[in-house]
Amino acid sequence: MAQLDAVQEKEWLLLARGGDVEAFAPLVAAHQRVVYRIALRITGNPQEAEDVAQEAFVRAFERLDRFDPARPFAPWLYRIVHNLALNRVRRDRTPAVLGDWLEDERGTGPEAAAIAAETLERLRQAIAGLPENYRRVIVLRHFEGLSYQQMCAALGVPLSDVKSWLFRARRALQKSMG
Amino acid sequence: MANLRESEKASEGGSEAADWRAGESPNSRGSGGAHLSEGDIHAFLDGELAVGEHAAVQEHLATCEQCRRELAALRRLFIALDELAPAPDLVPTVRARLAGLSPALPQRSWRRWLPLALEAAAAVALLAWAVTRPAAFWAGLFGTWPADFGAELSGWWSGTWGSIVAWLASLWADLPSWPADTWSALQAWLGSLPTLDLQLSLPQWALWVGLLVVACLVGNALLLRRAALNGHTQ
């Protein structure tokens, strides 16, 4: 899905404010990845993150009449998902990651995007080059969202092994990022 | 947490030893400069600490620059791994949930059809007005243009409808089960269709057909835009 430019986004927002559900769909498509990532960082669980992200979009649509279209849509939306995710996690347990996610999501220009793409490619190759056990724990933790105990059950190994593999794998990946 | 780390090391046996710095429990940390263990930092970011431990680590991070730097470095890795993680397509489920909400917002749903309805009404009104103008109106407006095209079209209208009726009659003859009185009623209705006195010249026809095409294109632009909306969500 191509990103929307500011003019296109404003057009869709104005239609969506009138209750047009179909006009809201391009906005969902444009922001879903970031919204999901924010929810995932806070909840630490892909299923919960998906629920929270969906709920964030629904809440945003319901509250569009309170949103000033002259202001950027993304920070307002990200604040909704942030609060929803925190409420969900505080209800159940401690948050996985707390921090200035907005700083992370703030774009810093084409040069930064190019650097990020190069870093991601190095990281992708580093994951592929990990020993199998290290790669499995990285996938189970970061792509599947399993807890330490769930990884123990999935892999059939003690907690100490899971932690050891995970921490070493992360160290190796950090080195690859430079 | 220090006790936990000791018991985990004891249970490892033949498996790989955990390679983390020895650290004290956050609860016992004083001002002597002890740092968080690697395990603490990882577990903190993974959300695997109990509430009390989590709070203790946060308290330590508030005062320890080195641990904050290590946490930030690990967090950058987490963020990069998030970028590589597959993300679900939320559009279908969000759309379905919002569609379920739309009955609660009836005052908003009809507005999007208003422009198209106005376009269609304007096009129909324009055409109806045009074909009911007498020939003298157009002659006065456009000058002495030939009017035989309209006469030819009128003749086609009458002749063609007559041919259609005859064709249907032959078709009817092959349908033995069709009620006779219904066919008589249909014949009468077809015969009553008006013949239009289309005394317009070719340029006048071209003008009105052109205006009708423009009205249809503008109206369809709204429909195509709706299709583009759906395309955006693919």
Whole-angstrom Cα distance, residue B94 to residue A111?
34
Residue scoring higher pLDDT (A34 or B136): A34
| Weakest mean pLDDT among A3-17, A57-71, A151-165, B22-36 | B22-36
- The angle subtended at Cα A152 by Cα A148 and Cα A155, nearest 5°, is 130
Whole-angstrom Cα distance, residue A129 to residue A91?
39
For residue B53, give the H/E element and its range: helix B51-61
| Weakest mean pLDDT among A4-8, B120-124, B159-163, B175-179 | B175-179
pLDDT above 80: residue B28: no
Whole-angstrom Cα distance, residue A160 to residue B19?
10
pLDDT given for residue A118 in this prediction = 84
Diameter of chain B by CA atoms?
Answer: 109
SS3 B43: helix
Pull the structure tokens for residue B120. Answer: 């269609």
Of B80, B232, B233, the CB nearest to A123: B80
Nearest to A61 by CA among A28, A87, A104: A28
Of B20, B45, B90, the CB nearest to A53: B90
Pull the structure tokens for residue A48. Answer: 């919960």
A146 band by pLDDT with thresholds 50, 70 and 90 = confident
pLDDT given for residue B95 in this prediction = 92
For B45-94, the pLDDT digits (tens) are: 888 888 899 899 999 999 999 999 999 999 889 888 888 888 899 999 99
pLDDT above 50: residue B107: no
pLDDT given for residue B9 in this prediction = 39
Residue among B51, B232, B233, B234 with most chain A CBs within 10 A, to mutate:
B232
Residue among B38, B76, B81, B230 with most chain A CBs within 10 A, to mutate:
B81
pLDDT given for residue A93 in this prediction = 59
Residues of A in contact with B114 (CB under 8 A): none
Q: Please count the residues of chain A.
A: 178
Q: Are B95 and B233 in contact (CB under 8 A)?
A: yes
Of A44, A157, A161, the CB nearest to B47: A44
Whole-angstrom Cα distance, residue B230 to residue B234?
7
Residues of B in contact with A142 (CB under 8 A): 78, 81-82, 84-85
Whole-angstrom Cα distance, residue B25 to residue B29?
7
Residue scoring higher pLDDT (B8 or B85): B85
pLDDT given for residue B106 in this prediction = 43
Whole-angstrom Cα distance, residue B198 to residue B158?
12
- Number of CB atoms found within 10 A of residue B146's CB: 10
Interface residue A69 vs chain B (CB under 8 A): no
pLDDT given for residue A130 in this prediction = 94
User: What is the arithmetic mean of pLDDT over A89-105?
Assistant: 54
- Number of CB atoms found within 10 A of residue A101's CB: 20
Whole-angstrom Cα distance, residue A58 to residue B101?
9
Q: Is the ipTM of this complex over 0.85?
A: no
DSSP characters for A83-139?
HHHHHHHHHHS--S--S-HHHHHS---HHHHHHHHHHHHHHHHHHHHS-HHHHHHHI
